[in-house]
Chains A and B, each alone.
Chain A
């Protein structure tokens, strides 16, 4: 096949693209017409603050949280995870996490562990991404403070059995932190079922990069991880005690949040079930097509209720990086290859250290897009490109 100029974006698990038109417009409008600094006195900043207030209400209602002041805007999921982990954990705490976690969980925990502040236990997963619930149950100690788990794997798309995880966590008197970066916007989430929940704006919520946040239940007081101006209690030399200001310092990403609101509006208008169904259809079609190609090994559950729209695979005897390169340079297909920032998950799946090729369809992809990918891979296999 000749190289062509077609670009087929199938890396929505990294960041969704394209965005709904109103997302672009809202970010621009914010900068043009709303750029007062929220929380600082003056009527233009009051307008910006009103906007932020409504955005907080929108996010809270989307995640079924009653009190919007418990929603903290952060700069991405990594930032929100650092805010949660470093704001909560104290010397002597024990933390349980799963093998499916992203480096945004593994690295903060790793540092706290290396510095002797916390101890940790990792719950293993099998090669299909199932976590070992019996192992989890046996991992609790008297000082277990927190169980942190991803709601859905960014590698194989597997949805973790979060209800069971949360139940075991409560039974053992620990707190639950759910990383919903991969799932938020793609499956309905009730944040009030956990103690802490992290989301990102730029994936399935269809918002701009640089947005995300944290839900903190009313019983938890996190130590501020980032400190600075809030526009309130300006006489104090420390963060104010009140939420959400306590955990939000410095000028926020107003244009990003404006875009995020429009991303959520798009999801609400379209219907989250509608979106999920469409993505499921694409993912099922892709899995079906790939499983017919000899030499392809899949790492994503076939059952739609067990996964989000993420497909990981390998082609026998071909380096995943090289395959991704051919997909892009010859066929214009954008995939993501390698370890996807989750080395332990690849160890569990048996794909470490080379990783996999990941294709992640989004709401704006079509069945024709998926057919094109399948044909491309058929051609690669037949020509041994």
Chain B
């Protein structure tokens, strides 16, 4: 079962700071609405690849970006996954 990792943030301001930090790097990421199984102060999360989580965490800490938590979630494979219904949703970074 594949998984994806999510950073949550106290504010959208911090989520966007994270985005700005990662923009300059080769890491794959996407800004997404927070999945409903996670609780977060701000509605936008940073979705990234789990094997890269430590490096990304280090970059955010170095840049003083405040984040709340990191979650590892299973990618839904059931019939109710909208993403599975719309396979075109895959973006250029390879993060669904």
Chain A interface (Cβ < 8 Å from any Cβ of B): 38-42, 46, 49-50, 53, 56, 69, 230-235, 240, 242-245
Contacts and interface: CB of A to CB of B under 8 A. Distances in A.
Nearest to B13: A69
Contact of B10 (A49, A53, A240): A240
Contacts of A240: 10-11, 41
A42 to B, nearest CB: 7
Given A41-B34, A42-B33, A46-B31, A244 B44 contact: no
A59 to B, nearest CB: 14
B42 A231 contact: yes
Contacts of A39: 12, 42-43
Contacts of A245: 11-13
A232 B31 contact: no
Contact of A233 (B10, B16, B34): B10
Contacts of A42: 33
Interface string B12-33: 1110110110000000000101
Contacts of B11: 230, 232, 240, 242, 245
Nearest to A248: B13
A56 B12 CA distance: 13
A232 B43 contact: yes
A231 B10 contact: no
B43 A53 contact: no
Contacts of B17: 53
Nearest to A53: B16
B42 A53 contact: no
A243 B66 CA distance: 12
Contacts of B20: 53
B12 A231 contact: yes
Nearest to A234: B43
A230 B14 CA distance: 13
Contact of A38 (B12, B14, B31, B41): B12
B42 A233 contact: yes
Interface of A is mostly: loop
A158 to B, nearest CB: 38
Contacts of B42: 39, 231-233
A232 B33 contact: no
B60 to A, nearest CB: 15
Interface string B36-76: 00010111100000000000000000000010000000000
8 contacts: A39-B42, A41-B33, A41-B34, A46-B44, A49-B44, A242-B10, A242-B11, A244-B13
Contacts of A46: 31, 44
Contact of B13 (A40, A41, A53, A234): A53
Nearest to A39: B12
A350 B52 CA distance: 70
A335 to B, nearest CB: 42
Contacts of A49: 12, 16, 44
A242 B17 CA distance: 14
Given A240-B10, A242-B10, A245-B11, A232 B41 contact: yes
Contact of B43 (A41, A50, A56, A243): A41
Contacts of B31: 46
A157 to B, nearest CB: 37
B61 to A, nearest CB: 17
Contacts of A233: 10, 41-42
Given A39-B12, A53-B17, A233-B42, 4 more contacts: A41-B43, A230-B11, A231-B43, A242-B13
B86 to A, nearest CB: 14
Nearest to A233: B41
Contacts of A38: 12
Nearest to A245: B11
A263 B88 CA distance: 41
A244 B12 CA distance: 10
A228 B14 CA distance: 20
A49 B12 CA distance: 8
Contacts of A243: 13
Nearest to A41: B43
A194 to B, nearest CB: 23
A238 B47 CA distance: 28
Residue among B10, B12, B14, B43 with max Cβ neighbours from chain A (10 Å) = B12
A385 to B, nearest CB: 57
